[in-house]
Structure 1
Amino acid sequence: MRIAYLSTFYPFRGGIAQYNASLYHQLARNAEIKAYTFTRQYPSFLFPGQSQFVSSSDPADTIPSKRILDSINPLNRHLAAKEIQSWEPDLLLSKFWMPFFAPSLGKVSKILHKKNTKSIGILDNVIPHEKRLFDISLIKYYLRWQDGFIVMSEQVLDDLHQFVPNAKYEFFPHPIYSHFQPNIPLQEAREKLNIPPNKKVLLFFGFIRDYKGLDILLNALKLLPQDYHLIIAGEVYGNFNKYQEIIDRLQLQSSITLLNHYITDDEVPGIFSASDVCVLPYRSATQSGIIGVAYQYNLPVIATNVGGLQEMITPYNTGLMVEKIDPTELAKTIEQYFNKNLKEKFSANINLFKSKYNWENLAQAILDLYKRILSQ
């Protein structure tokens, strides 16, 4: 079986590329696979971060991908499809996380569909967090040319059914990452970050965007006792000014370790090893790859009950949910976690999630879905 995997791969960086690399390796054990990626992924107006590309200091997974697809040049799509078709794949696999990519990915799927190549879309989201004009038309176009779907949360499945009521799909939450280096001792990790060993350490990790609610967490931190400490680790989309204003106004400087840049793979073990809990104070969500990173380090999660976040936490008793998106409620839940000493219990429970939702099982779910598509 031949699988063409068209998505974000090296030299691009970030969680999407890391997800694709992990799945690529697993699929390669049971099929022939080629990775294809973008010549241009985002135009600058859609990517307010520092860079879309891996830096020389970041030891990225250098998947041997071929750069063929320009996301915004319609004249390029036939050429990209022709390049993939020349290999005669049985399956085209793509990843969908925002409508912007629908015209390019959807067109390639459409062309290959006419050549009897089946298409499966891995859906991070169907309806985006930050909505724009024409989203619905773009979403419909991409979904139309997929034969099946991998959905990561019930929220995504519900959204999919709004557009494709009879969709063929496999439900599979975001797997646990396994490519990062292992934990280091807590004391060593905190020494590297200049955090006192007796602090109760919260972690906010990943790209900083409005819907992720860092401002909510900062206001909650002000309500907590002085022995709490927050690590903010991630690159901001836009600028950090509004968060810095909150930090200054609430005089939180001494209670925060700020790592406001793209976090390289080498930095990840120390950050997670230094933390007692990962906090996701999101205003909206479907699922989260951050939970997959936290679980690699057996780090429990406190999250607002939005989208599909609870599906990765509540059934496995690996963290706490905050029912109201509010600093006071978040602060109360954080104190509950520490006052009841829940870290050890939740950390042990994470192993159940790890055994079920790993990359091997995801690869098998994709192959099973492909067989089901062929049979029907």
Structure 2
Amino acid sequence: MTDLRLDHVAPAPAGSAALRIAVVGPTHPHKGGVAAHTTMLAHHLSEAGHDVTLVSWAHLYPSRLHHADATVPQGAPEVPPYPRTVRALSWARPDTWVRAGRRLRDVDAVLVVHVMPPVVPAHLALLHAAGALPGVPGLPGLPGVPSPRPQSIVVCHNVLPHESRPGDTPLMRMFLAKVDAILVHSADQATLAHELGARRVSVADLPPHLPGGEPISRGQRSGPTRLLALGLIREYKGIDVLLRAMLDVPDVSLTIAGEVWPSQREVIGRLVTDPRLAGRVELREGYVPADELAALLADHDVLTLPYRSATASQNVILGHAHGLPVLASDIAPFSGQIEDGVNGLLVPPEDERALAGALRRLRDPEVRARLAEGVQTPDLSGPWANYLGTIEALAADDERSSVPGWRGGSHSAAAPRAPHLAVAAGVRAAGSRLAGGLRAGIRSRRPVVALDRSDLPDWVLPTDVLSDPLEAEEARRLARRLGLPLSLDKVEAWAALGALAAILRVRDDGRRSAIIVDETGTRSVLSRWARAIGFAPVEIDFTGSEPSVAALDVDTGSLDVIVRIHPRGCDGTDVDHVLEQASWALRSGGLLIVTIPIGPPSAPGAVGPADVRGILARAHDLGFVLVGDLDGDVNARMREAGARARADSAAYGLVRLTLRRR
């Protein structure tokens, strides 16, 4: 192994919201989705303004632990390599684990990408050497002041392997109990992490890190329906179920492209020799280089994912990005990514009869064409914004704590170190401690960005209309000039900047003591910005229902600010409910800040100028007054936005309303 130097990470400039983050995980020449995700995570964190070093492996693990070749053949990267990468770790040399960790003692967070349980001892040794574990001393501090130390955050693609080995569970139980926080990609994995003793668990959708470049156009072709199964072929992926379903469905062919796990080679080999599958199955065994992926996808009609079980996967996004409908098992995450009968088909897992029925439907060219037309280009940037927001919240200084002892459903802040309070369903029992705990948390917070109401220009209004994308871009640029954390969504930045301005101008006492409830959901831009300047917002995120302060069981008139803004703002169907909830939860002088799409009556959820008038009238009856001028410029701009609208069935703008409780 080449012993590369790992320099200490330089501190970020004073007053900056940037974090010093060490990402520890596999990257090129290691292959696969985890290595690609690790690399793109470093890229995105750096592009968000953070100081990022990627600490990777020269030698990751013995071949006996991984049945496929772990490195990319011919050395071609699957995704662009991250420039500041140091391959300082070797499975065979524990001294490299400790030496690398010692050089990370002055970062804000060590973000470990978990690969497999046998690597846990290496990760724990590195984190201990970095002083990044609770109870391990960090860098020397002032007398009487707790020593600062990095936060230890583990990204778990799988808390336990799909095919677990003896000893995996005890290793993961020890690992998860020792680190500060766990980031997983599904609710099921969050539950498993909690069961194994994790201190704090956050859930964020796996953001896309798609290899293969731009899609290739696909022309009309005749002949059998061409199915594609792609990737590492393991038992849980259910390729054998698909092959058995194909036995009695002619005019359907299948390409299996990827490395076949040894336990599956015999099973698949036996099935493909069945005379009913003669000439219908092509086994393209081996690694598929990234530069061949687009052509392979373009040569097929449907991507198949007949999994027995799944945790996080980007294969649906990959298929849709290349214009392919997807046939998949009706399990998470596929059931949330595929609209059955619109952009793909869903079938129960391990149900050969249902799968055969779906294959018969796919033989019809009209069905395939309709499903292909239903495929929309996936959003490749929004999920990364949410993902980075989650990491930024987890990576904040441990002295910026929230309510001690609070535990939510899909999020947890059990250790007194969380920089925010992420609330999930079922938290009513702790509601009576909300105000006191938040006040204590606020007193201990130190602002990262020095921002005063005078720093915000007059054009940032509490009540305003967005109808021109250039205005949203200007809001995002202003936020960056002010030193606020990066937002990739300019409309979200516009909504959050106006809300933050209203809070500073109307409800801030100079000590950042306002109790803010953000119903926009976890990882919202507003909460990230509010934390950066010294507030401690409560973020509400409920699975399967709309967020509501009612679930907090707070006292009447106990909150200072309630926010519900883009991208999870109000619409014409729920704004009255939000008004009613806020009318009893806000104290006198408290603020309710909402955004609502504006558009024609045919646009789902949108409101027109007359509807806004009605909303304000009902708000007045509930004890609210508008902060700002709707009669003048704002009302005129709503009408102008309607006049410029290019479609008669879609929203053409966004109105932000700031209401003060009398």
TM-score bucket (shorter structure): 0.7 to 0.9
SS in 2 for 1:201: strand
Give unpaired runs (5+ residues) of structure 2. Answer: 1-18, 139-148, 402-662
**Closer, same or farther: CA 80–166 of 1 in aligned 2, 3 Å:** closer
**Closer, same or farther: CA 25–108 of 1 in aligned 2, 3 Å:** same
TM-aligned CA deviation for residue 150 of structure 1: 2.1
Give the distance between the partners of 1:197 and 1:373, measured in 2 at CA: 61
- 1:33 maps to 52
* TM-score (structure 1 length as normaliser): 0.86
Q: For residues 203-255 of structure 1, what are the alpha-carbon distances to aligned partners after superposition, in whole Å with 9 as ceiling and x for unaligned?
A: 100001122121111111222122x1212110112273431221112442421
**Closer, same or farther: CA 37–355 of 1 in aligned 2, 3 Å:** closer
The one of 239, 242, 255 aligned to 1:231:
255
Count residues in correspondence. Answer: 363
1:11 aligns with 2:37: no
TM-aligned CA deviation for residue 71 of structure 1: 3.2
The one of 87, 95, 100 aligned to 1:67:
87
TM-aligned CA deviation for residue 57 of structure 1: 6.1
SS in 2 for 1:133: coil
* TM-score (structure 2 length as normaliser): 0.51
Q: Are the aligned partners of 1:176 and 1:295 in contact in 2 as well (CA < 8 Å)?
A: no
Larger deviation: 299-308 or 333-342?
A: 333-342
Give the distance between the partners of 1:280 and 1:334, measured in 2 at CA: 13
TM-aligned CA deviation for residue 36 of structure 1: 0.9
- 1:125 maps to 158
Q: Are the aligned partners of 2:60 and 2:90 in contact in 1 as well (CA < 8 Å)?
A: yes
**Closer, same or farther: CA 167–314 of 1 in aligned 2, 3 Å:** farther
1:182 aligns with 2:200: no
- 2:292 maps to 267
Q: Are the aligned partners of 2:225 and 2:301 in contact in 1 as well (CA < 8 Å)?
A: yes
Q: Are the aligned partners of 1:154 and 1:308 in contact in 2 as well (CA < 8 Å)?
A: no
1:341 aligns with 2:373: no
The 5-angstrom pairing of residues 147-296 of structure 1 reads 147-164=180-197, 167-169=200-202, 171-187=203-219, 197-226=222-251, 228-238=252-262, 240-296=265-321
**AA in 2 matched with 1:108:** L
Give the distance between the partners of 2:339 and 2:188, measured in 1 at CA: 15
Give the distance between the partners of 1:320 and 1:374, measured in 2 at CA: 49
**AA in 1 matched with 2:307:** Y
SS in 1 for 2:73: coil
TM-aligned CA deviation for residue 98 of structure 1: 2.5
1:23 aligns with 2:23: no
SS in 2 for 1:56: helix
Larger deviation: 279-288 or 365-374?
A: 365-374
Greater share of helix residues, 1 or 2? 1
Give the distance between the partners of 1:244 and 1:338, measured in 2 at CA: 25
- 1:78 maps to 98
TM-aligned CA deviation for residue 179 of structure 1: 4.5
Give % identity: 25
**Closer, same or farther: CA 90–250 of 1 in aligned 2, 3 Å:** farther
Q: Are the aligned partners of 1:201 and 1:230 in contact in 2 as well (CA < 8 Å)?
A: yes
TM-aligned CA deviation for residue 296 of structure 1: 2.5
Q: Are the aligned partners of 1:173 and 1:357 in contact in 2 as well (CA < 8 Å)?
A: no
**AA in 2 matched with 1:236:** V
**AA in 1 matched with 2:178:** W
**Closer, same or farther: CA 358–342 of 1 in aligned 2, 3 Å:** farther
TM-aligned CA deviation for residue 11 of structure 1: 1.8
**AA in 2 matched with 1:141:** M
Q: Are the aligned partners of 1:276 and 1:343 in contact in 2 as well (CA < 8 Å)?
A: no
- 1:191 maps to none
Greater relative contact order (Cα < 8 A, sep 6+): 1
**AA in 1 matched with 2:164:** K
Give the distance between the partners of 2:341 and 2:246, measured in 1 at CA: 27
**Closer, same or farther: CA 177–342 of 1 in aligned 2, 3 Å:** farther
Q: Are the aligned partners of 1:215 and 1:246 in contact in 2 as well (CA < 8 Å)?
A: yes
**Closer, same or farther: CA 359–222 of 1 in aligned 2, 3 Å:** same
- 1:90 maps to 108
Give the distance between the partners of 1:315 and 1:111, measured in 2 at CA: 50
- 2:61 maps to 42
TM-aligned CA deviation for residue 158 of structure 1: 1.5
- 2:634 maps to none
Give the distance between the partners of 1:185 and 1:364, measured in 2 at CA: 35
SS in 2 for 1:341: helix
Give the distance between the partners of 1:165 and 1:28, measured in 2 at CA: 28
SS in 2 for 1:223: coil
- 1:362 maps to 387
SS in 2 for 1:330: helix
Considering only CA atoms, is the larger Rg found in Structure 1 or Structure 2?
A: 2
The one of 301, 307, 313 aligned to 2:338:
313
SS in 2 for 1:375: coil
**AA in 2 matched with 1:77:** W
**Closer, same or farther: CA 130–67 of 1 in aligned 2, 3 Å:** same
Q: Are the aligned partners of 2:177 and 2:199 in contact in 1 as well (CA < 8 Å)?
A: no
- RMSD over equivalenced CA pairs, Å: 2.8
**Closer, same or farther: CA 83–237 of 1 in aligned 2, 3 Å:** farther
Give the distance between the partners of 1:321 and 1:42, measured in 2 at CA: 37
TM-aligned CA deviation for residue 9 of structure 1: 0.7
- 2:324 maps to 299
Give unpaired runs (5+ residues) of structure 1. Answer: 189-195
SS in 1 for 2:250: coil
Give the distance between the partners of 2:155 and 2:30, measured in 1 at CA: 18
Larger deviation: 315-324 or 198-207?
A: 315-324
**Closer, same or farther: CA 73–97 of 1 in aligned 2, 3 Å:** same
